[in-house]
Structure 1
Amino acid sequence: MTEALQAGDAKAAERHRTEALEIAQAVGNRQMTQVLEQAGAGSEVARKTAALGTSTVSLTEEDEA
Structure 2
Amino acid sequence: MSTVKPSAEELAGADFRKSSYSGGGGNECVEVAEIRTWACLRDSKIHDSPTLVVQAQTFAAVVDAVRAGHL
- Which structure: greater strand fraction? 2
Which structure is larger by alpha-carbon Rg, 1 or 2? 1
Both proteins in one fold, TM over 0.5: no
Normalised to the residue count of structure 2, the TM-score between the two structures is 0.35
